[in-house]
Amino acid sequence: MKELTLYLDDLTPGQLSMKRLAEYLRALSTLYGAEDAVHFDAVIEGSAQLRSFVEDRRYPEVINQVREVSGGLGSKKAVSAYKKLSELMLEDRTGASLRSGGAQIFQFPKIKHAEAPLRIVKPSSVQGRLYSVGGKDDTIPVRVEGADGETLNCEAEIDIAERLAQILFKPVRVQGDGEWERRSDGSWKLIKLKISSFTKLEDIGFKAAVAKLKAAGGVKWNDMPSAHSEILETRG
């Protein structure tokens, strides 16, 4: 059998969890192909080296597939595995090369690490349908469904969590210190909000809400020359 090893330049064996190692090996197995003829051997010390042995009769097939994929060709499965390996390396901030008998087969392209996204913490308020309150720690995870169906990740101290649990599946507005991350398109995503207070919102339909506003004297659309424009303007 012939040796085929993936060298992870900036990782040591001690930095590879079993789960992470399994992810690398799963992608490598697909990249190599000939699964029944490729046998994993060990993780070698130094930079983490994932060493396998390939049966002689299938070795040319494996090397040909690896070279095709590195050149942008090959089967969809192999190309997908190559991309998966590249993603793992980017996440682990490491470069890598594939070698056989000490000779380099190819070098994975080094991907420039993007700058860490900007994050800020500021007093915030979000609202939606409260659908989860629970956990075993002193700080309790709270989940709110936003207007577009997205999950708004929050947390609360036990006393607030206990009161929130009493209005589960109801609309709610929560306030507190929110951690926000700036996306590449300039928009902001809520990472987590630590709830300091909350307000239960009325669960009523649009018509009922309008009727309630009219009854309170807050809506006089009949007196407006252009009600639709006024609504859009007030919404910003």
In CATH, what number is assigned to the domain containing residue 189? 2.40.50.140
Q: CB of 47 within 8 A of CB of 53?
A: no
Residue 210 lies in a domain: yes
pLDDT (0 to 100) of residue 217: 59
112 inside domain:
no
Which has more confidence, 207 or 54? 54
Residues 135 and 172 in one domain: yes
Q: Are residues 14 and 100 in the same domain?
A: yes
Query: Which of 107, 138, 168 is the last residue before a domain boundary?
Result: 107
Q: Does any domain span residue 61?
A: yes
The answer as to whether 141 is a domain residue is yes
Do 142 and 177 have their domain in common? yes
Query: Is the alpha carbon torsion for 36, 58, 87, 42 positive or negative?
Result: positive
Q: How many CB atoms lie within 10 A of CB 27?
A: 20
The count of structural domains within the chain is 3
pLDDT at 229: 52
The whole-number pLDDT of residue 11 equals 87
Q: List pLDDT tens digits, range 75-122.
A: 889 999 999 998 899 888 888 999 998 899 888 877 665 677 899 999
225 pLDDT more than 90 = no
Residue 161 pLDDT greater than 90, yes or no:
yes
DSSP 8-state class, residue 109? P
- Asked whether residue 162 is domain-assigned, the answer is yes
CATH number, domain containing residue 69: 3.30.70
116 and 105 Cβ atoms separated by less than 8 Å:
no
Contacts of residue 110, Cβ cutoff 8 Å, sequence gap at least 6: 95
> Residue 115: inside a domain, yes or no?
no
Q: Is residue 117 part of a domain?
A: no
Boundaries of domain holding 235? 206-236
Strand ordering across the sheet containing 103-107: 38-44, 48-54, 2-8, 96-100, 103-107
| 39-87 pLDDT tens trace | 999 999 888 999 999 999 999 999 999 988 877 788 889 999 999 998 8
Q: How far is CA 7 from CA 97, 105, 111, in A?
A: 5, 11, 16
Which stretches of the chain are assigned E, i.e. beta strand? 2-8, 38-44, 48-54, 96-100, 103-107, 119-133, 139-145, 151-157, 171-182, 188-200
Give yes or no: residues 179 and 93 share one domain: no
Are residues 199 and 210 part of one domain? no
Strands 119-133 and 103-107: unpaired
> Is residue 97 domain-shared with residue 138, that is, in the same domain?
no
**Residue 195 forms part of a structural domain:** yes
